[in-house]
Copies of this chain bind each other. A is one copy, B any other.
């Protein structure tokens, strides 16, 4: 790879001049510029961004840490982040944390050493102090961890209430909840929303809340057990769509018809909702928008622009599909 010095030498100018034409700032004679440009071409010169970053102290790179890119929620988010940041010349480093604080911390350290310009992170297992130690802009998505940290989330509790109310509205009498992981805030909030609505009903029992760990498989097993023990259950609100598909599977297997015997609703609004049969009702998060908003906020933070609001809570949207559409 040719360096600036080589270009300068061959073109018979100084590196300063080459730098000027490269960045088109400062004065440079048209003749000279032309010659330099030609030499760059001839030498197939490409600027070395590492050197540039060293001086400028900015890498035009941002870190994106998600629990697991394999969970369909996150690719959509990542895509939005990439689209927005890429547009502005940034590139993203992707990391999976598996919700493990050590992995998160490790990535944070690495990203810091790589001098990324900012970080977008979906987590809440990490102590807030560690995040504050970072002297880089950071935006947290999906899970609010602290008022001081710029955050993009959705109205989990409100959405959960809407979900359960919808189930009640179509006539469900016994509504159960498949809950996400204990240590994940949004799982607890959604569970809380569920409890807000049915927690005081005479029929309610804590047995109606079972753990599905945000995965299809665990939800499936939990649902089979639940539905066997409690055939009276006629509505299930799953903490996310992945778990809702697990419920669908369980119902199919037990010969329970959906939505008539059992209505099912999820949360998230991932693409998969439309590929199940029946299609899955859900509380759709504006996933792409969240990613966009996070990316835009982060870039504003990086570029030290005026920040209008560093905490955004998006509403979620009740989407009624076959799994809760009774005739």
Contact = CB atoms under 8 A, between A and B. Distances in A.
Interface of A: 1, 46-51, 53-54, 59, 61, 64, 68-70, 72, 74-76, 78-79, 82-83, 86, 91-96, 109-110, 112-115, 135, 216, 245-246, 248-249, 252, 271-272, 274-277
A51 B49 contact: no
Q: How many copies are assembled? A: 2
A118 B51 CA distance: 18
A54 B61 contact: no
Given A96-B79, A275-B249, A276-B277, A50 B46 contact: no
B75 A79 contact: no
Contacts of A276: 275-277
6 contacts: A49-B115, A50-B54, A61-B114, A69-B82, A70-B75, A86-B95
Given A70-B76, A75-B75, A275 B92 contact: no
A291 to B, nearest CB: 11
A199 to B, nearest CB: 30
A53 B78 CA distance: 27
A46 B78 contact: no
Contacts of A86: 95
A115 B52 CA distance: 12
Given A82-B96, A91-B95, 13 more contacts: A46-B113, A50-B53, A50-B114, A69-B75, A69-B82, A70-B79, A74-B75, A79-B96, A82-B95, A91-B110, A92-B93, A216-B275, A249-B274
A114 B83 CA distance: 19
Contact of A51 (B54, B79, B110, B246): B54
A277 B249 CA distance: 7
A136 to B, nearest CB: 10
A135 B93 contact: no
Contact of A91 (B48, B69, B83, B93): B93
B272 A275 contact: yes
A76 B83 CA distance: 20
Nearest to A64: B94
Q: Which of A75, A248, A249 has the most B CB atoms < 10 Å from its CB?
A: A75
A48 B115 contact: yes
A109 B82 CA distance: 17
Contacts of A272: 272, 275
Contact of A59 (B50, B78, B274): B50
Contacts of A113: 46-49
Contacts of A83: 96
A91 B114 contact: yes
Contacts of A109: 46
A6 to B, nearest CB: 16
A60 to B, nearest CB: 8
B245 A275 contact: yes
Q: Which of A51, A92, A113 has the most B CB atoms < 10 Å from its CB?
A: A113
A68 B79 contact: yes
A326 to B, nearest CB: 18
Contact of A94 (B94, B110, B271, B274): B94
Nearest to A103: B86
